[in-house]
Chains A and B, each alone.
Chain A
């Protein structure tokens, strides 16, 4: 009897996990189908689906995933999807999210490469994409304004934000540039050093 009860519990656990994985697959399938551009373009949809609607993660955590996704190797969108999938359901969750994200684009590309030569040069496709790009810009702006409340608190974070932004912008207009992963790692080190200094000041204050 005892044995049976633990078995049903683990069965329930399995079922729960399977359900989570299917939900991850489904959410990321829709995210993948509506993301035009790089990983940043999916941020507004992720924020709505995962933070506001499902409360699977917070604004801070989502920003963290992007920070890590940008300095680890690989496609940023995939890194972020994997990260979120893992936090919900471990390795199976990570795979569900990544495969879900890739599913629709893969099918669309296959259809286009078999049937639709010159799809990308089509006049209507170009107009539609121009419209989508306008929308993506606005959505990102609005999402950043939302995330700002939880991620840009205090003078230190504002200084880091503008410093990284300026250095990254320099790369676009000047012949030399700082690789983005280097910027991200430098920002992390700055955070550690600033924390250390604060700690010392606190101790100094106490000693007096």
Chain B
């Protein structure tokens, strides 16, 4: 009983630490999970690679999904909830503090100038993240490196992209999530 409770406390501590120190989200939690596997033996390093695969193939943020999976392996359903809550707590604390700070200096020219630099930077990082998904989605990087250019371009994916782009352009009312569902079905039908 006490041993069980200890595991939940340790889980909370470890994931709180991850939420507090992992900057960049998603795969930034990976080194923390590997450390948990080594230090606590809650799961193996192989389990961690399964976690990545599951986390990337289910909805939600990758970091949160990995915490759910790791928490579940370690302490069942309650373990999953504890891990996710512990990961979330620092985000809420930090954002509450940062937002308060920003509110206080919102009207100061210094803060406004800072945001004039932050906004384009934010756009650039989102574009970069998008490009990071786009490259393996539209190109077979392995074939590219082998110089096999006829196989390097994933035509079916490119055609689907053009179709979705046109769809969004002309059917503005349709919710983005509808396009995501259609694309999932198209992926299965076209064997992407």
Q: A: which residues have CB within 8 A of B?
A: 30, 32-41, 43-45, 48, 60, 63-64, 66-79, 82-83, 86-87, 91, 94-95, 98-99, 101-102, 104-106, 108-110, 112-113, 119-121, 124-142, 144, 147-148, 151-152, 156-158, 160-165, 168-169, 172, 179-181, 183-184, 187-192, 194-196, 199
Q: List residues of chain B with CB within 8 A of the CB of A128.
A: 184-185, 187-188
Q: List residues of chain B with CB within 8 A of the CB of A156.
A: 116
Known: A39-B25, A73-B21. 7 other contacts (CB 8 A): A76-B24, A78-B64, A82-B92, A98-B88, A106-B60, A137-B133, A161-B123
Asked if residues A131 and B160 are in contact (CB atoms below 8 Å), the reply is yes
Give which listed residue, A63, A91, A119, contacts B122 with CB less than 8 A: A63
Known contacts A75-B22, A164-B121; is-contact A64 B115 (Cβ 8 Å): yes
**Nearest Cβ on chain B to A61's Cβ, whole angstroms:** 10
Asked if residues A127 and B116 are in contact (CB atoms below 8 Å), the reply is no
Closest to B162 in A: A138
Asked if residues A139 and B99 are in contact (CB atoms below 8 Å), the reply is no
Known contacts A35-B59, A74-B19, A151-B120; is-contact A102 B64 (Cβ 8 Å): yes
Give which listed residue, B22, B55, B96, contacts A73 with CB less than 8 A: B22
Interface assignment of B104: CB less than 8 Å from any CB of chain A: no
Asked if residues B19 and A188 are in contact (CB atoms below 8 Å), the reply is no
Distance in angstroms between the alpha carbons of A199 and B186 in the assembled complex: 54
Instruction: Enumerate 19 A-B pairs (CB-CB under 8 Å) in ascending A order.
Output: A36-B59, A39-B25, A40-B126, A68-B98, A75-B19, A102-B60, A124-B188, A125-B57, A129-B184, A140-B127, A141-B165, A152-B123, A160-B121, A164-B125, A169-B131, A187-B117, A192-B114, A195-B109, A195-B112
Q: List residues of chain A with CB within 8 A of the CB of B182.
A: 135
| Chain B binding surface, main DSSP class | helix
Asked if residues A134 and B187 are in contact (CB atoms below 8 Å), the reply is yes
Asked if residues A135 and B80 are in contact (CB atoms below 8 Å), the reply is no
| Chain A binding surface, main DSSP class | helix
**Nearest Cβ on chain A to B95's Cβ, whole angstroms:** 4
Size class of the B contact interface (CB-based, 8 Å): 35 or more
Known contacts A74-B90, A78-B91; is-contact A134 B59 (Cβ 8 Å): no
Q: List residues of chain A with CB within 8 A of the CB of B69.
A: 109, 113
Q: List residues of chain A with CB within 8 A of the CB of B68.
A: 105-106, 109-110
Known contacts A72-B94, A109-B58, A142-B168; is-contact A130 B192 (Cβ 8 Å): yes
**Nearest Cβ on chain A to B130's Cβ, whole angstroms:** 4
Asked if residues B113 and A105 are in contact (CB atoms below 8 Å), the reply is no
Asked if residues B113 and A79 are in contact (CB atoms below 8 Å), the reply is no
Asked if residues A75 and B123 are in contact (CB atoms below 8 Å), the reply is no
Interface assignment of B152: CB less than 8 Å from any CB of chain A: no
Best-buried of B22, B56, B120, B133 by chain A (most CB within 10 Å): B120
Q: List residues of chain B with CB within 8 A of the CB of A39.
A: 25-26, 61
Interface assignment of B3: CB less than 8 Å from any CB of chain A: no
Q: Which of B5-13, B142-150, B173-181 contacts A (4 or more CB under 8 A)?
A: B173-181
Best-buried of A163, A165, A172 by chain B (most CB within 10 Å): A165
Interface assignment of B171: CB less than 8 Å from any CB of chain A: no
Asked if residues B120 and A77 are in contact (CB atoms below 8 Å), the reply is no
Asked if residues B95 and A184 are in contact (CB atoms below 8 Å), the reply is no
Distance in angstroms between the alpha carbons of A126 and B190 in the assembled complex: 12
Asked if residues B110 and A192 are in contact (CB atoms below 8 Å), the reply is yes
Asked if residues B157 and A196 are in contact (CB atoms below 8 Å), the reply is no
Asked if residues B124 and A104 are in contact (CB atoms below 8 Å), the reply is no
Q: List residues of chain B with CB within 8 A of the CB of A105.
A: 58-61, 64-65, 68
Asked if residues A131 and B59 are in contact (CB atoms below 8 Å), the reply is no
**Nearest Cβ on chain B to A111's Cβ, whole angstroms:** 10
